[in-house]
Structure formats: C-alpha cells, structure tokens
C-alpha cells in the first residue's frame, strides 16, 4: 500500500513535466523501478537522448543484479511465475522476499510482487490525474528524487554491517568532483569499484600473513 503515494508523486511530477497521463501509467507497468522513473523525469523533460537515459537507468538499477544473486534458490521454478518475479524485483519486493521463510508457496510470492506493482500503477494513475488538473509552478518538488535516493541509501546502510562503502563513496565523489564536475558520478563509481576490489585484497592478504 505504501507504493500508492510514491507512485502518485511519480505520476504527478511526470505529468507536470509535460507528459500525457497514460505515459506515466505505461512507465509504471513496463519499467516498474521507482528511483529510475523519478530520475527520468527531468531528463525526458530536457529531451535527453534515449541512450543517455538508458545508461543512467543502468547505473541507478545496477544494484538489482546483486539482489537476484541472493535469491537464486528462493524464486519459483514455474516459468511464468519466475520471470514475473524477476521482472518485479524492486527494492521493496526484494526486502519483503528476503524476510519470508524458505517454504513460502510460489503463488504467495507472485501475489506479493503483483500487489506491489498494482499499488505502484494505481498511484501513478492517481498522481497523473491530479497533475493534469493544474500546473503548479513550485520550485523544488523534484527534490523527491534526492529524498528517495537518500531513503534507499539509509536502508542499504542498515542492511550492512560496515559503513565503509558509504565513506569510500563520499571520498571517491569528492576526488572525482575535483577532477571533473561533469563526469563526477561515473568517475566516482569507477573509483568505488577499484576501492572495493583493493579492500577485498587487503582483507584477504592480512589473515594469510598472520598464519
């Protein structure tokens, strides 16, 4: 149910940016990825190329690769059910699935994902309808994207024992920003990958030396 208002914010902002209401609904049916959909609004409003938006989607949703890895044996074997769940593996659905006991029935798993998407689509529709009524020229409504990213960061932080990735990321961003403000994000991601691999090596070398 929590998806309805978040979907409504998406539908509202998308329509305010100048898109038809049914496009908001289509996006929520076809894409079904909250952060990426929020991110796309200013880009599509500015006429950014499809390729650049696809690349940004890749970066924003890269974490989903790792969600699937931890669920390999938990998803249903039936083809349709399995692939629908793969499609619907959002942050919310993932966090619900990880809390379920191992023997949960396939039907129930599919129902969870279907309901999540139903609320998301319904919310988008409601938001789009409201957004079509009146143009509100309030500066700063697009802070909703920053807020959503921030919420996801806090939840990722909570799920981890170590905050090291957070500090490494902030440091990497500072370094990247000094080097090239325009490409700071991509450079910082690359630096973070390198740091992750280097830290991994360091942590494996130490125990061997202590033997």
Minimum CB distance to other proteins smaller for 82 or for 129 = 82
CB of 6 to other proteins, least distance (A): 6
Is 15 buried (19+), middle (13-18) or exposed (0-12) by CB count in 10 A? buried
H/E/C letters for each residue in 26-39? HHHHHCCCHHHHHH
Burial 25-54 (b: 16+ CB within 10 A, else e): bebbeeebbbbbbbbbbeebeeeeeeeeee
Q: Is residue 180 close enough to count as binding other proteins by CB under 8 A?
A: no
Of the candidates 10, 16, 36, 81, which one interacts with other proteins according to CB under 8 A?
A: 36
Number of residues that bind other proteins (CB under 8 A): 91
Give the range of 102-110, 113-121, 126-134, 137-145 binding other proteins by CB under 8 A.
137-145
Contacts to other proteins from residues 50-109, by CB under 8 A: 50-51, 53-54, 57-72, 75, 82-83, 86-87, 89
Of the candidates 10, 11, 35, 120, which one interacts with other proteins according to CB under 8 A?
A: 35
Provide the 10 A C-beta neighbour count for residue 121.
21
Q: Is residue 112 close enough to count as binding other proteins by CB under 8 A?
A: no
């Amino acid at each position: 149910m929590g998806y309805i208002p978040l979907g409504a914010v998406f539908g509202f902002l998308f329509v305010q940016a100048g898109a038809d209401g049914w496009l908001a609904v289509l996006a929520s049916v076809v894409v079904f990825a909250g952060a990426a959909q929020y991110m796309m609004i200013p880009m599509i409003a500015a006429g950014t190329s499809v390729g650049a938006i696809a690349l940004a989607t890749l970066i924003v949703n890269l974490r989903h690769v790792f969600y699937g890895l931890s669920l390999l044996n938990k998803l249903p074997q039936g083809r349709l059910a399995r692939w629908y769940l793969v499609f619907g593996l959002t942050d919310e659905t993932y966090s619900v699935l990880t809390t379920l006991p191992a023997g949960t029935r396939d039907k129930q798993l599919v129902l969870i994902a279907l309901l999540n998407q139903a609320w998301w689509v319904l919310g988008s529709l409601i938001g789009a309808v409201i957004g079509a009524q009146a143009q509100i020229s309030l500066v700063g409504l697009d802070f909703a994207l920053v807020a959503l990213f921030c919420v996801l960061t806090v939840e990722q932080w909570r799920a981890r024992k170590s905050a090291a990735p957070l500090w490494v990321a902030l440091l990497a961003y500072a370094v990247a920003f000094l080097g090239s403000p325009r490409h700071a994000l991509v450079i910082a991601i690359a630096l973070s990958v390198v740091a992750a691999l280097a830290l991994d090596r360091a942590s494996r070398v130490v125990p061997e030396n202590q033997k």
